[in-house]
Amino acid sequence: MIHVRDVSKSFTLHAQGGIVIPVLEGARLEVAAGECVALTGSSGSGKSTLLRLLQGNYAPASGRIEVAGLDLATATPREIAALRRDRLGYVSQFLRVVPRVPAHDVVADPLLQLGVPPAAARERAEALLSRLNLPQALWSLSPTTFSGGEQQRVNIARGFVHPYPVLLLDEPTASLDPLNRAVVLDLIREAKARGAALVGIFHDREARDEIADREVDVSLFAAAP
């Protein structure tokens, strides 16, 4: 489902005299359906950079990044948008939403974008929120004022509301209590069981050991400075 070959990525900071920060060189990654791969490596080695490249959020300098059949290095913006709509899910560390939109609508939104009728979308969203133990009193409130762990659960629900064949997870258990952490690990196991390909960053070592089939050390792709 994911094929990354010879990908390099650097950042040029024009405002700072055009310094170039090389991050990745010759990065490779293969992830099959039903597999969960954890990205590891020291801080600053490029784990988030690689995840963002897989999401289409960063542009690779060279190489091929094939996700669910689309090469992100050459895809048009609209092709990437379409990929994200139905094939590529992403649980980010940050919640970015229009203020005032209630939590259950934030979660249902990806389904509405896919044309799922509002009532059905809302129902699936609420089922996930309840599974993630978000108090029902919060569902109709905007998550902008939620606690870190509550916001994270909204993000997770949004990422799992549609059965995306590829799912990227950036620290999905970071600010969760043990109970909810276990729910998230179950969701990941279920996604694997239905054949999703997952790539994640888990600083939580036990979580990683429990659900990752393999680890890929991103430091191996460190670009020479």
Ligand X SMILES: Nc1ncnc2c1ncn2[C@@H]1O[C@H](COP(=O)(O)OP(=O)(O)OP(=O)(O)O)[C@@H](O)[C@H]1O
Binding site for other proteins (CB under 8 A): 11-15, 52, 56-59, 77-78, 80-82, 86, 96-101, 112-116
With binding defined as CB under 6 A, does residue 12 bind ligand X? no
Q: Which is nearer to ligand X, 44 or 69 (CB)?
A: 44
SS3 of residue 89 by DSSP = strand
The site for ligand X, by CB under 6 A, has a size of: 11
Q: Which stretch binds Mg ion (CB under 5 A): 10-18, 40-48, 109-117, 144-152?
A: 40-48
Cβ-based neighbours of 170, under 8 Å, separated by 6 or more: 48, 51, 90, 91, 92, 93, 200, 201
* Contact of residue 112 among Mg ion, other proteins, ligand X, none (CB under 5-8 Å per partner type): other proteins
* Distance, CA of 52 to CA of 37 (rounded, Å): 15
* Contact of residue 81 among ligand X, Mg ion, other proteins, none (CB under 5-8 Å per partner type): other proteins
Is 33 within 8 Å of 86 (Cβ atoms)?
no
* Distance, CA of 107 to CA of 181 (rounded, Å): 19
Could you tell me the smallest distance in angstroms from the CB atom of residue 16 to ligand X? 10
List helix spans (H) across 44-200: 47-55, 77-86, 103-113, 118-131, 148-160, 178-193
Site string for ligand X, 29-68 (x = CB under 6 A): ------------x-xxxxxxx-------------------
Q: Which is nearer to other proteins, 62 or 133 (CB)?
A: 62
Could you tell me the smallest distance in angstroms from the CB atom of residue 15 to ligand X? 11
Could you tell me the smallest distance in angstroms from the CB atom of residue 193 to other proteins? 23
Q: Which of 40, 45, 48, 152 binds Mg ion (CB under 5 A)?
A: 48
* Contact of residue 179 among ligand X, Mg ion, other proteins, none (CB under 5-8 Å per partner type): none
Q: How far does Cα 23 stand from its chain's mean position? A: 20
Q: Which is nearer to ligand X, 90 or 139 (CB)?
A: 90
Q: Which is nearer to other proteins, 86 or 217 (CB)?
A: 86
Cα pseudo-dihedral 138, 123, 186, 102, rounded to 10: -30
Burial of 129 (0-12, 13-18, 19+ CB in 10 A): buried
Q: Which is nearer to ligand X, 43 or 76 (CB)?
A: 43
The packing angle between helices 103-113 and 118-131, to 10°, is 130
Contact footprint for Mg ion (CB under 5 A) = 48
